[in-house]
Structure 1
Amino acid sequence: MGKNYMPEVAKILGVEIGEEFEIIINEMKMLTHGPYKITDNAIVDYVGCKTKDLLYGLLTGEYTLQKRPWRPTEGGWFYHIYGNGGGLTAKFFNFNNVYDLALLNMGNCFPTKEAAEAAVPEMLEKFEEIKKGVRE
């Protein structure tokens, strides 16, 4: 049996094994059976159906891979920014927790401390916009 190249293919395409992504045709139209992910032996759609055509399309440039935005997982750790610009690590409880959903909705959930620190200016700007509506 030959070598399995799927981990290298995933790396070339810029995703991790198991990371969800979308596939775009002609830079405009998104395929409808996403999200897709690369497994150890195939590209699969949202229900786990394997397809070789998608891999061929991605490798030849007929299709474009579009990464999905990072989202915290239930019970996973993430970083968010306080109103004063300070950062904090927190546990994402679940998608029914109003506080967690509010942070997620305003884009205030980050996978790393570095990503949170880089977003401080943008988040402070968002906070000021929100405060304007309250003060008027």
Structure 2
Amino acid sequence: MSKNLIPKIAKMLGVEIGEEFKIDIRSNDIFQITESGIWMKKDVNKDEWVEMPFEFMMLCNGDANIVKLPWKPKEGTEVYTFSFTTHEYNSRFCPHKGVWYVTKWNWAGFPWQIAALDKGWVFSTKQEAEAALPAVAAEMGVDYEL
């Protein structure tokens, strides 16, 4: 019996098995590749999927392209973002000056976490957060530590 090639095809297409994405020729639909093929979400509010072999063929032939969805952490996932510590600052107009640094959260979907995600300040790795911090700190006009 031959080996299942779908996981390799998914990787070649730039997605993980089970990752949700869109396809440019069907921009309103959500898809995912599993080890048994490509599936389209039947209803965005339910976990019902229907197999779509034609779209799989279109992707493999290069007649369609995957459109990645914005990354969204799953509940309980460790993510990285920014926080700050205050140090006494000798100014009557700004008694505390914050120093930003990278910190770890457990994702729970709190409103303040969603706001940080929407701002682009939530990362899947510490390295990604550390790489982004200098530009964010410059934009915000704050000091930072790595």
Q: Which residue of 1 aligns with 2:37?
A: 42
Gaps of 5+ in 1: 129-136
* 1:57 alignment partner in structure 2: 58
User: Is the 2:81–2:104 Cα contact (8 Å) retained in structure 1?
Assistant: yes
* Secondary structure at the counterpart of residue 16 of structure 1: coil
Identify the match of residue 29 of structure 2 among 28, 33, 36: 33
> Does structure 1 residue 89 correspond to structure 2 residue 104?
yes
**What's the TM-score once normalised by structure 2's chain length?**
0.75
Amino acid at match of 2:108: F
Question: What letter is aligned with 1:103?
Answer: A
- Identical pairs, percent: 33
Where in structure 1 do 4 or more consecutive aligned residues deviate above 4 Å? none
Q: Which amino acid aligns with 1:32?
A: N
Q: Which has the higher strand share?
A: 2
Residues matched between the structures, number: 122
SS of the equivalent of 2:28 reads coil
Counterpart residue number, 1:11: 11
Residue 106 of structure 1 aligns with which residue?
A: 119
Structure having the higher Rg: 2
Distance 1:98 1:68 in 2: 20
* TM-score, structure 1 normalization: 0.80
- 1:116-127 matches, within 5 Å, as 116-127=129-140
State the SS of the aligned residue for 2:130.
helix
Residues 50-74 of structure 1: per-residue CA shift (max 9 Å, x gap)? 0111111111111011222211111
**Aligned-pair distance for 1:85?**
3.6
Cα 1:122–1:69 change in 2 (3 A) is farther
2:81 maps to which residue?
80
Letter in 1 for 2:82: I
Query: AA paired with 1:51?
Result: M
